[in-house]
Structure 1
Amino acid sequence: MKKLFVFMIDALCASDIEKMKEMPNFSKIINDGSYVASIETVWPALTYSCHTSIVTGTYVDRHSICNNEVMERGCKPGDVWYGYKSQVKDPTILDYARENGLTTASIAWPVSAGANYTYNWPMIVPYKYKDYDAEKYLYGNATDNLLEKYFWKYGLFQKGPDAELDRLTMAVAPDLIRDFGQPDVMFVKMCDLDTQRHFYGVYSEEAYIQLRRHDMELGVLLETIKRYGDYENTNFVIIGDHGQTNIEDVLNINILLKQAGFIRTDENGKMIDCDCYAHSTALTCCIELKNPDDKEMAKKVKEFLLTLKEDKDIQLRYVYDKKEMKEIFRVDGPFDFIIESNRDISFSDKLDKETIWASTEPGDHKIGRATHGSRGDRKETTLFVASGPSVKKGVVIDKANMVDEAVTMAKMIGFDMPNTDGRILHELLVE
């Protein structure tokens, strides 16, 4: 029986393919298989939205994960991140695999807590959590079989200010394959390339050192499958969730809205009332109306945003309202406009600033030296690489869509995913 093993690298850029061809483990998958040179992401090109589209094969307006942060009406920052499988409105490829009698595993995958997979260790410990009792987030959300066997010795990698999720992943994933046998469908996610690019930039030496480390980590997993699994019958897939873009400037968009009279604050800068509020999605930004039924205010806000298209410093590329964003981006959520600049500007939604412009903050996932979140046609998109018994050798597709990935991977191992938004990439497959 054919199997599927997916190695996800957060912030894997399309241009990385040339470096990957020079690395021993990536190059083996590339040389033995085929790839898509540019995967157009869904909007917003954020980790949680993209990961969810990858496994569901649907756009954001269907699966509902419209940001990393949970978005609700109320003109307030999003402090809590999505995390639970129950928040995803569409079934995933792993759900369909289970229905087809296959065993499933998911390690460090976003928005998967509580999923009914055979083995599951979700990305559920909060993004900024630095304390020492991570187990309170995992118990009841990860599967008992993994927690009982591994948390006692590997849980330390999710505790304290120096927690390292990739170390946890690389401890649990090989042991799972050895101790339980190779699952029929297994998804493994790595985070640290994204982190290095946020800190140092897209094309930094630190990023390429980390890419090489991911190659070595893949090598460990390939060797584990050779020793304890069914290597010859496994389809291997390497994917990314988005590219990244080096940032020129940071725009404090809520300060700009405050200066225009749409946000009122007290003497300490704390918001006391507003007509609209901006939520950063890094390279793009969502604008929420306090009262979405106030047509006059909606018109006033849109007219103001449109003036920013002519601003020589801001240079907005587009201003789309709710109807347009659903038609163009296939996205819906508790917001009323989305904007993006022609420049490589990242948006900050902080209100505790003096001016509308700020510098990047290395490492920050919204306003770091490099970031993402734009529509899927920026310079750096991401990749889809595959090899195995179901994959042709030597095919290169110039471009495909992120929602094509799940249905294509399902086809590799013999089942269909009905009612998705993607198309099967038959060009890559042995049929």
Structure 2
Amino acid sequence: MPGLSFAKALVAGVALLCSAAPVAVRAEAKAASVLLISIDGLRPDDVLEAEKRGLKIPNLRRFLSDGTYATSVTGNLPTVTYPSHTTLITGVAPARHGIVSNTTFDPKQINYGGWYWFAQDITAPTLWDAAKSAGLSTANIHWPVSVGVPALDWNMPQIWRSGHADDRKMLKALATPGLYAALEHDCGPYADGIDEGLEADENRTKFAVRLIETKKPGFLTVYFAALDHEEHLFGPGTAQANAVLERLDAAVGRLVAAEMAASPNATVAVVSDHGFVSTDTEINLFRPFIDAGLIKLNAEGKVASWDAMPWPSGGSIAVVLARPDDAALTGMVAALLDKLAADPQAHIAKIVARAEIAQMGGNPQASFYVDLKSGALAGSFDPQAPLAKPSRYKGMHGYFPTLPEMRSTFLIMGKGVAKARNLGAIDMRAIAPTLAARMGTSLPKAEVAALNVAD
């Protein structure tokens, strides 16, 4: 009943009691609105040490004095966007929520570089589900893995294919009926899904603010991609990345102001999915697998058949076997990986097998997972590329979550949230149950307990 006066709320509550719905009354009475903002690639020290780094981000810094914060967040295997955002929304690791990489496993490359866009691939309850159970309305602007979320009342999902004008038609068809047109009427053209630039994030901010003003959702997710985009192109902590972060700080300020105007008792959380390191080397793990006969190519240089296939995820690489229970094949791949680990050109930091992957909550399809050394990144399929070459990107993530530079951000403030509380280092899986508790509900399947953020 957000926004109702006490008298109106009392009358509405009596009416509900008379219609034999006491559970709904109790759930809604406890529910509080939550705004969840993600800044992809936001490193915790960019906020904690902003003054030292010369960053002017007053809206993010406000969380340190007016709210509760973590000094670092330990994330997933792998530390990439889609698995991490699904952990942020479910409270479970990729092995349980099903989003195990950014891109789908596509050994014969028939999916045109498709990502895990579709919510039907999520195999765990989400915060959107929890919000609905708490009697809150739900909305989304551009959150990863959000196409077709049943629990969303208003959805502008994240998806793209080519950057062609037809992408807009696709998004309009997949958004909540009528929502795209209504928001464009008030805000002008919506940014293309493939556009990860700063102006696109500022455009989506305008749409999110208008959604708050017109719909007053009880739970809203908003995702910003531009900082990550700039850190890939120029590296973390560069002048270009810092300039983007300062403008995203202003976007956060606009969202917080709109949310507090619509729901003065709301909770606002800012999160990120991973950290970043500078990179200079690109590793083509496909080359040695082709040379070993584990991947066979046709006359056009495309994959004709495969026994073992690398599945790149930024700073790490999953290795999938066509026959994971084949001991001879497993031994052959293990021997190849051990040989590569001894080659300094391969820049391999660590190799783990299925038991350790499972212990880390990583991709259950992988028989091996390769962690590259900081500074190296996994290249995409290119049968002509050498094992190592200069990197096309200046920054990367995706390494094992044990790498300190992969730690991410958690900030929270609102009515009833403790001020200036330092939580120290936390587990990413604790964030979703914490936000569920703020909404007066829970995520019983979350793997880590909710954090104490109350004053």
- The secondary structure found in structure 2 opposite 1:42 is coil
Q: 1:68 aligns with which of 102, 106, 119?
A: 102
1:256 corresponds in structure 2 to: 288
2:434 corresponds in structure 1 to: 408
2:7 corresponds in structure 1 to: none
Distance 1:194 1:310, change over 3 A: same
* 1:315 CA displacement: 4.5
Return the letter of the residue paired with 1:335: A
Q: 2:92 aligns with which of 37, 42, 58?
A: 58
Further displaced range: 8-17 or 286-295: 286-295
* 1:313 CA displacement: 3.1
Distance 1:204 1:189, change over 3 A: same
Deviations 1:169-190 (A, max 9, x none): 112111111222x221111111
Confirm or deny that 1:119 pairs with 2:144.
Answer: no
**Contact 1:20/1:26 (<8 A) preserved:** no
1:382 corresponds in structure 2 to: 408
Confirm or deny that 1:417 pairs with 2:450.
Answer: no
Distance 1:346 1:73, change over 3 A: closer
* 1:74 CA displacement: 6.1
Give the structure-2-normalised TM-score: 0.85
Distance 1:343 1:32, change over 3 A: closer
1:365 corresponds in structure 2 to: none
2:394 corresponds in structure 1 to: 369
Return the letter of the residue paired with 2:363: D
- The secondary structure found in structure 1 opposite 2:243 is helix
Find the aligned partners of 1:245 and 1:258 in 2 and give their Cα distance. 29
What pairs with 1:252-401 in structure 2 (closer than 5 Å)? 252-265=284-297, 269-327=301-359, 329-361=360-392, 368-380=393-405, 381-401=407-427
Find the aligned partners of 2:364 and 2:340 in 1 and give their Cα distance. 23
CA RMSD, Structure 1 to Structure 2 (Å): 2.3
Confirm or deny that 1:147 pairs with 2:184.
Answer: no
What pairs with 1:35-46 in structure 2 (closer than 5 Å)? 35-46=69-80
Return the letter of the residue paired with 2:399: S
Larger Rg: 2
* 1:23 CA displacement: 2.1
2:129 corresponds in structure 1 to: 95
Distance 1:308 1:77, change over 3 A: farther
Find the aligned partners of 2:193 and 2:183 in 1 and give their Cα distance. 14
**Contact 1:64/1:333 (<8 A) preserved:** no
Return the letter of the residue paired with 2:74: E
Return the letter of the residue paired with 1:291: R
Find the aligned partners of 2:114 and 2:385 in 1 and give their Cα distance. 26
2:23 corresponds in structure 1 to: none
Further displaced range: 103-112 or 303-312: 303-312
Return the letter of the residue paired with 2:384: K
Confirm or deny that 1:230 pairs with 2:296.
Answer: no
Give unmatched runs, 5+ long, in structure 2: 3-31
Find the aligned partners of 1:160 and 1:337 in 2 and give their Cα distance. 31
Deviations 1:237-278 (A, max 9, x none): 111011111113111111122233433335654334433221
Find the aligned partners of 2:165 and 2:318 in 1 and give their Cα distance. 34
**Contact 1:103/1:118 (<8 A) preserved:** yes
Deviations 1:195-230 (A, max 9, x none): 00000001111110011011111111223234x412
Distance 1:393 1:177, change over 3 A: same
2:166 corresponds in structure 1 to: 133
- The secondary structure found in structure 2 opposite 1:414 is coil
**Contact 1:4/1:186 (<8 A) preserved:** yes
Give the structure-1-normalised TM-score: 0.90
Q: 2:275 aligns with which of 243, 265, 270?
A: 243
Confirm or deny that 1:202 pairs with 2:236.
Answer: yes
Distance 1:79 1:261, change over 3 A: same
Q: 2:205 aligns with which of 170, 175, 181?
A: 170
What pairs with 1:16-35 in structure 2 (closer than 5 Å)? 16-18=46-48, 20=50, 22-35=56-69
**Contact 1:315/1:341 (<8 A) preserved:** yes
Deviations 1:103-136 (A, max 9, x none): 111111011111131211110223xx22112233
- The secondary structure found in structure 2 opposite 1:90 is coil
1:3 corresponds in structure 2 to: 33
* 1:344 CA displacement: 2.4
The percent identity for this pair of structures is 24
**Contact 1:154/1:171 (<8 A) preserved:** no
**Contact 1:74/1:290 (<8 A) preserved:** no
Return the letter of the residue paired with 2:167: A
Further displaced range: 209-218 or 302-311: 302-311
**Contact 2:196/2:229 (<8 A) preserved:** no
2:247 corresponds in structure 1 to: 213
Give unmatched runs, 5+ long, in structure 1: 362-367
